[in-house]
């Protein structure tokens, strides 16, 4: 059981470039989430998918898009990266939406220059 995996671990982009962060879970969880972590601000929810086939905006969705590819995979896309998107990105999953425990991946450290 790998739990929640994320790729890549590190990425450097130039302003305006695009990229997709990948997330997969092997726990048969229904719900998946994308967070960003910035110093002094905790984690903020970008988007979530309560169940396969649905996605919803979180607290800070601007500049991002998501795809729930299947039950296992939930990707986050930056169409035109900006320096303000420099952050550490975490994917998480839970058995069902509203379940108290979320399981987190190891994170992707993204720098936009």
Partner 1 sequence: GDSVTQMEGPVTLSEEAFLTINCTYTATGYPSLFWYVQYPGEGLQLLLKATKADDKGSNKGFEATYRKETTSFHLEKGSVQVSDSAVYFCALSQETSGSRLTFGEGTQLTVNP
Instruction: Name the site residues for partner 1 (rule: CB under 8 A).
Output: 4, 40-45, 48, 58, 90, 92, 97-107
- Beta carbon of residue 80, minimum distance to partner 1 (angstroms, whole number): 27
Residue 59: is it exposed, middle or buried by C-beta count within 10 angstroms (0-12/13-18/19+)?
Answer: exposed
Judged by CB, which is closer to partner 1: 17, or 45?
A: 45
Using an 8 Å Cβ cutoff, are 35 and 59 in contact?
no
Residue 17 or 30: which CB sits closer to partner 1?
30
CB of 21 to partner 1, least distance (A): 14
Least distance to partner 1 from the beta carbon of 76, Å? Answer: 15
- Closest to partner 1 by CB, 17 vs 61, is 61
Shortest CB 104 distance to partner 1, Å: 3
* Residue 106 near residue 8, CB atoms below 8 Å: no
Report CA-CA distances (Å) from 31 to 37, 38, 103. Answer: 20, 23, 10
Q: Hey, what are 111's tokens?
A: 């720098």
């Amino acid at each position: 059981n790998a739990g929640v995996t994320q790729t890549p671990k590190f990425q450097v982009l130039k302003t305006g470039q695009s990229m997709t962060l990948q997330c997969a879970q092997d726990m048969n969880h229904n719900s998946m989430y994308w967070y960003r972590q910035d110093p002094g601000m905790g984690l903020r929810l970008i988007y979530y998918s309560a169940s396969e086939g649905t996605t919803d905006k979180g607290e800070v969705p601007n500049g991002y898009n998501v795809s729930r590819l299947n039950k296992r995979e939930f990707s986050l896309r930056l169409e035109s990266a900006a320096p303000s998107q420099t952050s550490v990105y975490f994917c998480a999953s839970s058995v069902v939406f509203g379940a108290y425990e979320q399981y987190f991946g190891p994170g992707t450290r993204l720098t936009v220059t």
